[in-house]
Chain A
């Protein structure tokens, strides 16, 4: 009986701990939604990132003299719950804008909500091209380089490979499908000579890696495009290593260089994959140094890509509100369109034409160093260089 009581006590203590936000009437409130309970490996560093940003902004006097408060909600990985959270933030908490989200479908759900309720939404992470193009709307902006941009960055390197026979492995959902589709399209444009010899579509989170690896090996490709990440990637890499799938084959892989996905691999880290990612250890720019130093000082931990995304999301939100000089939605939209601001990756701009930021990504090769996975030969790819022409974008995006 006592055990039960203490359990209840613990439960309420946890609950109370979760409610530790309080805001004054003339603070500037920003609502933030992410899949905290579903994707902690990304969202924990992400949260640390935005908390650092809030601290820095308020230490520097807030936004136009007002204190910034971020109210954060979990969406549990469900679009419907994300909408409930968005509603609470807007209707009940009275936030000036919505930010955050990781999964594409949740990004789209919140974006649609923003469009309906006429609320400013700064999407942090969702990669689907639809957020800014096919289902783009006036109220929605996005920070991270989209699927298309990352594909274009990878294609630049991949098209220089001699390989002609390509196979693809991607999780069977929209992100994987569109990543493969864009990559194929851009590759085939640059290299009409290549052949696509096999494709594998394991269900997200449930890859049965052995048979998949074996099936790809059987098609005998010269190069492989991988889009899996997280635990699926781990299984794929381990099976692939054991079965020798990657031996003598080029591999091009989305996101694998991000510490969230690269670090767990440790001594399994494959050598020489061409990947997008975040080599925080080898970026030597003043902007990034400042960020890195502040982050490590505050958390005694190294940043992941999520940290950058969280940090820059709130920095961007603050910059937009500061420029608008108001939390009026239309003024914020006007301010956001074309706004430029510093970031740990250098200056970025939110394009007027499609509300996509020009934040870029690092492309490099994977390697092992002291039993850990790292990216080497990295170079930063500016987002602005990997977007289609304005005329094409006009066609992709519905009229506001």
Chain B
């Protein structure tokens, strides 16, 4: 019995760490609607700075002072980030802030190694909490008890802050309805800045408090960021109590789960999230999202099919691309094939995101399923390449059909997180089911047949498929279905009121996007000659998001340009420098600040300006209408 109590308390200690970080994220998201990918980075910097301070200053005061000072210092960095970077992009299209914070995260991962060196750092133990307390023969670290107490204390302080201060009232009001706060004449800028600072402080504090139990290292951020998001979503966005309950739930399920299924940890949080979201689409303590204000109306730039000239130009670009094998070497061609494949992947997500307004955080699942589909067919059934290429993507299609059905019942960030959960579930199956998938060692030897083996032939194949896919999706954008899909994105209320079964339209779009991604994955398997769980992983999903956002989510062809720019740059940087993350992250941040509408979005604006030398007579009438939908 004592054992179960101790296991429970141990779970609570884990929960407390998780809650600290999660509560910060929840507050930030609740008010600013920023999907703060950099939250893990702040957590990590908190740990690093705390390490330096606690090593430098001795004694209890040195330790606790160092921890708090570190959190404050990082909060200051957070303020700087908010003012310099985020403020410029609050009005950018949804999720664009994700791109900015993602860029930051990349930079930080390299910066900490540059500053603190490559070795794992182990800090000292907390003065006064070094040992363990005996509980009926079981040992509980006293630091765990400290954390267990700290969790509720932080929860209480936050509660007081939100219930008893004017600032808290404003934050709560902003969480429910941002526009209303703006209308109240509150200085929204500083409200956001202060909220961001508090959120970052909590993240950094969470990181600093890991010093006595963890090693400080440069991958801490990724270790926690996804998990924290999951906790926030399970709890319900913007709900601090929800975050607390979810942290406890997840930690306890893990603590007891491993007693029965020692391998459960790898997937547990995602399973819990998937179940919670299917049963309660807004998390445990969340409320239905007050129909999020959609921002696309800011630069209303109606989509239209390409004009004849534009078509000719695109054709010319394609022909030039097709002539690459005449003058480029094998390496360039292989890179070209990879870029073409990522164009397919990006346009598939772009279709879902831009046309359907459904931002999937787990799109790699369908890419990877396509790749595994090919690997199974080629290695187990020994089918010819062309058949594998045709049938492999069907695995992506089936995955998208099953998961999409559940996912489209939700919207916004909940949709995104459910897709992430599904992708992680698929990933962990590929990772764990060693006898079928080879586990993390993957499936090797999926090489193309002779007719496609030479780099130039494979390049033409990839380029051809990419062109076909891009054209097909473009046609769909301007098909009646495409109109219907855009309609469901712009206003669910109105589309239902004109007889559109929005969920079914969105589901169809999800399956189309998933299948298309599967086509990309199928080609990818042959390009690399192997398939790994990586092909389904979070980082690939994030890559896809970044490509779409970089290209411009409000555009029709942003996915193509985003994929080309990001992938080419990525491959080049990884090849040229070990600090590719720093440079790439810097580039992304720069793009975010300079081109808040993405590359293609920016080009369109420039083109429009040139065209619009005529007086803007309409702009007097043109009041941006922010309807409730």
Q: Give the nearest-CB partner of B18 in chain A.
A: A208
A18, B579: Cβ atoms closer than 8 Å: yes
Check if B348 is an interface residue, CB within 8 A of chain A: no
The listed residue (A73, A91, A211, A231) touching B214 by CB distance below 8 A is A231
B528, A212: Cβ atoms closer than 8 Å: no
Q: Give the nearest-CB partner of A44 in chain B.
A: B118
A244, B139: Cβ atoms closer than 8 Å: yes
Check if B265 is an interface residue, CB within 8 A of chain A: yes
Check if A282 is an interface residue, CB within 8 A of chain B: no
A79, B534: Cβ atoms closer than 8 Å: yes
A18, B576: Cβ atoms closer than 8 Å: yes
B34 shortest CB reach to chain A, Å: 21
A109, B444: Cβ atoms closer than 8 Å: yes
A11 vs B219: C-alpha distance when bound (angstroms): 22
Q: Per-position contact with B for A15-56: 1 when CB-CB < 8 Å, else 0?
A: 101110000000000000000111011011000000000000
A211, B118: Cβ atoms closer than 8 Å: no
Are A211 and B254 also in contact (CB < 8 A) when A74-B578, A234-B214, A263-B119 are?
A: yes
Which residue among B10, B218, B334 has the maximum number of chain A CB atoms within 10 Å of its CB?
Answer: B10
A116 vs B132: C-alpha distance when bound (angstroms): 56
A73 vs B10: C-alpha distance when bound (angstroms): 43
B442 shortest CB reach to chain A, Å: 6
Are A268 and B122 also in contact (CB < 8 A) when A14-B582, A88-B331, A203-B265 are?
A: yes
A4 vs B590: C-alpha distance when bound (angstroms): 8
The listed residue (B338, B442, B524) touching A105 by CB distance below 8 A is B442
Across-interface contacts of A201 in B (CB, < 8 A): 262-263, 265-266
Total interface residues on A, using CB and 8 Å? 78
B251 shortest CB reach to chain A, Å: 7
A246 vs B530: C-alpha distance when bound (angstroms): 42
Are A14 and B259 also in contact (CB < 8 A) when A112-B529, A205-B219 are?
A: no
A15 vs B581: C-alpha distance when bound (angstroms): 11
Across-interface contacts of B213 in A (CB, < 8 A): 209, 235, 238-239
Check if B439 is an interface residue, CB within 8 A of chain A: yes
B356 shortest CB reach to chain A, Å: 28
Check if B168 is an interface residue, CB within 8 A of chain A: no
Q: Give the nearest-CB partner of A47 in chain B.
A: B578
The listed residue (A40, A84, A244) touching B218 by CB distance below 8 A is A40
A84, B11: Cβ atoms closer than 8 Å: no
Which residue among A81, A231, A265 has the maximum number of chain B CB atoms within 10 Å of its CB?
Answer: A231
- The stretch from A172-180, A345-353, A355-363 touching chain B is A172-180
A76, B574: Cβ atoms closer than 8 Å: yes
B625 shortest CB reach to chain A, Å: 35
Contact residues of B between 436 and 473, Cβ < 8 Å to A: 439-442, 444-445, 447, 455
Across-interface contacts of A293 in B (CB, < 8 A): none
Are A85 and B575 also in contact (CB < 8 A) when A40-B113, A230-B215 are?
A: yes
Across-interface contacts of A231 in B (CB, < 8 A): 120, 214-215, 217, 219-220
A212 vs B11: C-alpha distance when bound (angstroms): 10
Check if A200 is an interface residue, CB within 8 A of chain B: yes
Check if B96 is an interface residue, CB within 8 A of chain A: no
Q: Per-position contact with B for A72-104: 1 when CB-CB < 8 Å, else 0?
A: 011110111101110110011000000000001
Check if B346 is an interface residue, CB within 8 A of chain A: no
A149 vs B598: C-alpha distance when bound (angstroms): 53
Are A15 and B334 also in contact (CB < 8 A) when A231-B215, A231-B217 are?
A: no
Q: Looking at chain B's contact residues, is the secondary structure mostly helix, strand, loop, or mixed? A: helix
The listed residue (A87, A205, A209) touching B334 by CB distance below 8 A is A87
The listed residue (B254, B329, B534) touching A208 by CB distance below 8 A is B254
Contact residues of A between 194 and 231, Cβ < 8 Å to B: 198-203, 205-206, 208-212, 214-215, 217-218, 230-231
Contact residues of B between 307 and 336, Cβ < 8 Å to A: 329-332, 334-335
Across-interface contacts of B582 in A (CB, < 8 A): 11, 14
A18 vs B440: C-alpha distance when bound (angstroms): 30
Check if A7 is an interface residue, CB within 8 A of chain B: yes
Are A211 and B11 also in contact (CB < 8 A) when A44-B118, A202-B265, A243-B132 are?
A: yes
Check if A323 is an interface residue, CB within 8 A of chain B: no
Q: Give the nearest-CB partner of A73 in chain B.
A: B575
The listed residue (A11, A40, A84, A214) touching B586 by CB distance below 8 A is A11
A211, B258: Cβ atoms closer than 8 Å: yes
Check if B13 is an interface residue, CB within 8 A of chain A: yes
B441, A214: Cβ atoms closer than 8 Å: no
B219, A38: Cβ atoms closer than 8 Å: yes
A23 vs B580: C-alpha distance when bound (angstroms): 22
Check if A266 is an interface residue, CB within 8 A of chain B: yes
A173, B440: Cβ atoms closer than 8 Å: yes
A211 vs B260: C-alpha distance when bound (angstroms): 12
A208, B255: Cβ atoms closer than 8 Å: yes
B233 shortest CB reach to chain A, Å: 18
Contact residues of B between 1 and 40, Cβ < 8 Å to A: 3, 6-7, 10-11, 13-14
Check if B577 is an interface residue, CB within 8 A of chain A: yes
Check if B131 is an interface residue, CB within 8 A of chain A: yes
Total interface residues on B, using CB and 8 Å? 85
A74 vs B215: C-alpha distance when bound (angstroms): 24
Check if A108 is an interface residue, CB within 8 A of chain B: yes
A41, B534: Cβ atoms closer than 8 Å: no
Check if B60 is an interface residue, CB within 8 A of chain A: no
B139, A211: Cβ atoms closer than 8 Å: no
A105, B583: Cβ atoms closer than 8 Å: no
A116, B529: Cβ atoms closer than 8 Å: yes
Q: Give the nearest-CB partner of B267 in chain A.
A: A203
A8 vs B589: C-alpha distance when bound (angstroms): 11
A302 vs B611: C-alpha distance when bound (angstroms): 66
Are A8 and B590 also in contact (CB < 8 A) when A112-B445, A173-B440, A202-B265 are?
A: yes
Check if A264 is an interface residue, CB within 8 A of chain B: yes
A242 vs B213: C-alpha distance when bound (angstroms): 10
B118, A214: Cβ atoms closer than 8 Å: no
Are A130 and B334 also in contact (CB < 8 A) when A109-B528, A210-B144 are?
A: no
A235 vs B534: C-alpha distance when bound (angstroms): 26
Check if A378 is an interface residue, CB within 8 A of chain B: no
B334, A17: Cβ atoms closer than 8 Å: no
The listed residue (A8, A113, A211, A234) touching B10 by CB distance below 8 A is A211
B528, A17: Cβ atoms closer than 8 Å: no
Q: Give the nearest-CB partner of B532 in chain A.
A: A79
A327 shortest CB reach to chain B, Å: 18
Are A91 and B529 also in contact (CB < 8 A) when A108-B444, A173-B439 are?
A: no
B258, A264: Cβ atoms closer than 8 Å: no
A243 vs B576: C-alpha distance when bound (angstroms): 47
Q: Give the nearest-CB partner of A115 in chain B.
A: B445
B530, A214: Cβ atoms closer than 8 Å: no
Q: Give the nearest-CB partner of B210 in chain A.
A: A235
A79, B139: Cβ atoms closer than 8 Å: no
A264, B122: Cβ atoms closer than 8 Å: yes
B545 shortest CB reach to chain A, Å: 17
Across-interface contacts of A7 in B (CB, < 8 A): 586
Check if A135 is an interface residue, CB within 8 A of chain B: yes
Q: Give the nearest-CB partner of A40 in chain B.
A: B118
A108, B139: Cβ atoms closer than 8 Å: no
A31 shortest CB reach to chain B, Å: 11
Which residue among B10, B432, B578 has the maximum number of chain A CB atoms within 10 Å of its CB?
Answer: B578
B265, A214: Cβ atoms closer than 8 Å: no
By a beta-carbon cutoff of 8 Å, the part of chain B in contact with chain A is 3, 6-7, 10-11, 13-14, 109-110, 113, 118-122, 130-132, 138-141, 143-144, 212-215, 217-220, 223, 227, 251, 254-255, 258-259, 262-263, 265-266, 329-332, 334-335, 338, 431-432, 434, 439-442, 444-445, 447, 455, 524, 528-530, 532, 534-535, 539, 571, 573-583, 586-587, 590, 593
Q: With contacts A79-B528, A242-B143 known, what are 4 further pairs, Cβ within 8 A?
A: A37-B110, A92-B331, A105-B532, A108-B442
What are 20 A-to-B residue pairs whose CB atoms are below 8 Å?
A8-B590, A11-B587, A37-B580, A81-B574, A84-B571, A85-B575, A92-B332, A108-B530, A135-B444, A173-B440, A208-B255, A210-B10, A210-B13, A211-B10, A211-B258, A215-B262, A231-B219, A263-B119, A264-B119, A265-B122
What 6 pairs between A and B have smallest CB-CB spacing? A18-B577, A40-B118, A92-B331, A234-B215, A91-B331, A211-B255
